[in-house]
A and B are shown apart, each in its own frame.
Chain A
Amino acid sequence: NAGVMQNPRHLVRRRGQEARLRCSPMKGHSHVYWYRQLPEEGLKFMVYLQKENIIDESGMPKERFSAEFPKEGPSILRIQQVVRGDSAAYFCASSPDQASTTEAFFGQGTRLTVV
């Protein structure tokens, strides 16, 4: 059973470009969470999705950021018109149920660098 898969592992974008980060949850998991980690800080919750639904996007900036988890395929975190402050590690986690009751498994992360 493969773990949570994120790609790409490293992504370099120029200011103003778009960044697309992908997350394939563990088999059988229908809950996906995205977190952002700035250097030397803790992880900050961004968004919680189930298949085809956004459950909680309270941690996601209103502008430029969007997330989806379609019926088929991976979850996508999309950042439009990236700025230097978007440089961070973005981690995806999945669980078979809400994270309060079961372990959330984290992917290896995507390290986004905006130049």
Chain B
Amino acid sequence: GENVEQHPSTLSVQEGDSAVIKCTYSDSASNYFPWYKQELGKRPQLIIDIRSNVGEKKDQRIAVTLNKTAKHFSLHITETQPEDSAVYFCAPGSNTGKLIFGQGTTLQVKP
């Protein structure tokens, strides 16, 4: 079956620093690579996604990079702020329609 792993499981950074979360997947059919942010008690919200024909995408302080050969993609957050504190999930998908979520990374940004 599909296997998705995120590292690290927890990450603590000082406000203004950068944060990087890596997601490794096993399904070679994966062709859609989103990152979701979930605050406590709330729904997952898409923050950035990338398709398999693109290597990198940036949206203000957030970027995603994809290495399809190595089967991993990463979330990069620059100039972190306390409101970035949340749990982040990668959830690669394929033409099956379903998303396979990682176990999550808890990001804490200390003011």
Contacts and interface: CB of A to CB of B under 8 A. Distances in A.
Given A91-B43, A99-B32, A42 B101 contact: yes
Interface in B31-85: 31-32, 34, 42-46, 49
A107 B49 CA distance: 19
B95 A108 contact: no
Interface in A72-111: 91, 98-101, 103-109
B34 A103 contact: yes
A111 B31 CA distance: 31
Contacts of A109: 43
B86 to A, nearest CB: 13
Contacts of B103: 41-42
Interface of B is mostly: loop
Interface residues on A, range: 20 to 34
A101 B44 contact: no
A68 B49 CA distance: 29
A101 B31 CA distance: 8
Nearest to A48: B97
Most buried by A among B42, B44, B94, B98: B98
